[in-house]
Amino acid sequence: MNAWKQIWVRRVVRAELFSPMWFVGRALLITIFYFLCNAAGLREQTTFLSGTAAGAGTSLNSSAVLGMTYLVAYFGFVLVAPIFLLAALLMIGFQRKKMLCTLLPGDAHEVKAIGIIKPAVNPKESVSIEDSQPQKKPSEILARGEQTACAESQKSQVTHDD
């Protein structure tokens, strides 16, 4: 294993509990476990559900244990892993939204709009920027939906702090 793979595996395994990386790592582990069970042929062992052993040389008890292992892996792959991936995506989205709201809290920062660039006529002249628009505040730049969502989250933070 090269160094990059070792670092990536270490990051996934040692991720903070219930972080996006943790959810992605657990979904990946469930997927690997499912494919290993499928490759080992444990799918045939699920015949214990009908009360029959998978083969002539296997007992019903061993067939039940191996079949339950496959069923746990299957339902983990079909149900749990997609939920973990969706949870990771939602957490990433909420973290970015929260970061945006904390970076631009209302009218705290002034943002200057980029003007029109006038090219230099002579090589000795420098390029200048002409202001074509007045200065805008972050609340005017953000989309209306994002602005109200940030304002609502800030209000909820104020009410929870009291």
- Any bridge partners for residue 111, and if so which? 136
Residues 92 and 133 in one domain: no
Residues 96 and 157 in one domain: no
Measure the CA–CA gap between 120 and 118, rounded to whole angstroms. Answer: 7
What would the pLDDT profile of 68-126 be if each residue is shown by its tens digit? 999 999 999 999 999 999 999 999 988 888 777 776 655 444 445 455 555 555 555 55
Query: Is the pTM higher than 0.85?
Result: no
Structural domains in the chain (count): 2
Residues in the chain, overall count: 162
Last residue of a domain, one of 53, 77, 102: 102
Residues 42 and 92 in one domain: yes
